[in-house]
Structure 1
Amino acid sequence: MKYQSKKKALLLLADGTIFYGKAVGNKEGTAFGEVCFNTGMTGYQEIFTDPSYFGQLMVMANAHIGNYGVNDEEIESESVKISGLICKNFSYEYSRVAADDSLENFLNNNNLLAISDVDTRALVSYIRDNGSMNAVISTDVDNVEGLKAKLAEVPNMNGLELSSKVSTKEPYYFGDENATYKVAALDLGIKKNILRNLASRDVYVKVYPYDASFEEMQAWNPDGYFLSNGPGDPEPLSKAIQVAKEITDRKLPLFGICLGHQILALSQGISTYKMHNGHRGINHPVKNLLTGKGEITSQNHGFAINREETEANAAVEITHVHLNDNTVAGIRIKDKNCFSVQYHPEASPGPHDASYLFDQFLENIKQQKLETA
């Protein structure tokens, strides 16, 4: 077995709890972030490159990570976005014909610290009970007090604006410029598979930085608008909230996903809150209240919108609910062409039960074009 004598490592939680493990590849270092867990059995490469996970130490609940290697096409952004990886069994060897490289090389190329041989079953159970919190992983196992001091300086995710860390700096285009429809997307931490889903539906997308104004986006004369997923607390994103308000005030077609869903809610006066440990996985059950049908969904969020305030808002209708905890999973703005969901219909990884939402967005665009023709 590779690296028979593995370097010792540890995970130190903000409350002082310590879990021990070994450094993957004998890599030395220290990494800080909010510790959270994902229950997906597959899709680790997409998870690691999802901008929504920026600044987080990722605990993978599946026992084996790296066993099918990595593929150059299975990325959701141009680099790894998690701040560190925690797993049980790390596979240095892989067995998949379509793999381009090992996960070890992929992480090394992105300079990411990973630790294995951690009792992730106990760790996930602990986070479930005590909530997500800041943590540090390190090979500096003899310096616990020093690590505690540095960890105390790491800002809490509550109130933290992170979209600026992952958003594009300049606008760019995605898809066929000769496509029938044009969508202006606000990049709060957008996943590539969202863009692929739009482009596959005859849509040409122009992606704007997180702090773009409505006037900048409107100048392109798009047929619809999109608010993307992304990391951090939605409340500090005042410019994005204003963009959502201006779009809804004009009754223009709008679709929001995850952080974009929270931004849409905030634009309607509905507050958000940090969840105990969030929803992260690819088997979350959601009920569509409009059709009565159930969906198995891919989710990744640590914040949610206030259900009581949503129900009390006469302008907003709850369209989807999470069946595990009854949190709001989707809304639409009544008498306006705007809707959003808290989960990921583009999946990657995950099931495709909710991909119809992209078709629904396109139908809204088509209807708007007919009405204004």
Structure 2
Amino acid sequence: QLLKNDNDPRRDQYLRRFADKEGVSFLQRFWRKYHRLTAEQRLEVFLNGLRQTPDRLSAGYRFIYPEVGEAEFIRFMQQRFADNPQTPAQWRQLYRKYAPSEFSLPDQAYLARSHPLELWLLGYLQQQPNPTLAEAINLTADVRQQAYQWLFRTQSRSARDNRIRTMLEIEAFWDIHQRWQRLGYPFEYLVPSLATALGSSGDRPAALAELMGIIQNGGRRLPMFRIEGLHFAADTPYEVQVARTELQQERVMLPEVAQVLRESLAGVVQQGTGRRLQANFSQPLAPDIALIGGKTGTGDNRISTVNSRGQTVTSRALNRTATFAFYLGDRHFGVISVYLPGNAAEDYFFTSALPLQVLNGMAPLLMPVLKPQAGCPL
């Protein structure tokens, strides 16, 4: 309904939020570009990015230096356009024509052929002796809306629809992130991208293991710890025992969902990419009962350059990963991950079969642990 009805009042809310978010992104980009430079360097960098004409330069210069007098303006313009036959009277006309009071910021930026927030930031850096990015963001709340007023006035409905889709996508990924965090996802944000939608979340091995533990515990999240208790000086007058207090657990997943996930993970070993584990991790007396389940994953992470025809021109490997996150029996879970960083990954082609084979090699050590009352072998 939101995308079908251009008169839906909620559309304005989404467009304003888009303008605010996009404006902050541009402001941060311009801040990185200019904030370490001197006033002269900032102006030079700005002007070098323009296709300079007297009108464009006048519009930009007058906004950045609103207090500059007519004589100084003419002197500056004559230096920049030494070969231009403009008379002093014509320069004075440009000085008055492009006074900041004559135009709104978006119009002044349009005349200078620059982004409104870039022009605003240059003026702010020039006038503020101790500028900060946080202050700039606070001061531009209304400016960011002004910079995107064209979006509200344009006759192109598709332009508005595209921006609304962007905000809807961000909201969707934010909701996914909130849910994932409850299941142990370790990062503060989730990048809205096709890669994330396909399941490439860049997760950490410990977080994957914790997710397996949640599934193993029927949807309950318990604290992760290495030591259950300490016992000092047994059978002496100085004997001391230290034990953990009652564990605080949190229900983060419906038990029915956890059960379905457990069955799906078992299917990976029984019928999917983890089949090579069946021979070493099975119960002779009950071969149909899944003893192990998990999820495999292989990552060939690289930066590729693609031309207009969709052909890969260059490709550079960043790293290669192979992971198997699993549960084992009713009490154990974990993750095995192989990671090869840097350009050396270009020469390797291993897949998740590698951690599976590592786990197969550990079977003689792990299988005794699964027996009732068995202890962990040293």
Q: Which structure has the bigger radius of gyration?
A: 2
Instruction: State the TM-score, normalizing by the size of structure 2.
Output: 0.21
Instruction: State the TM-score, normalizing by the size of structure 1.
Output: 0.21
As a proportion of its length, which structure holds more helix? Answer: 2
Whose relative contact order is higher, 1 or 2, with alpha carbons under 8 Å and at least 6 apart? 1
As a proportion of its length, which structure holds more strand? Answer: 1
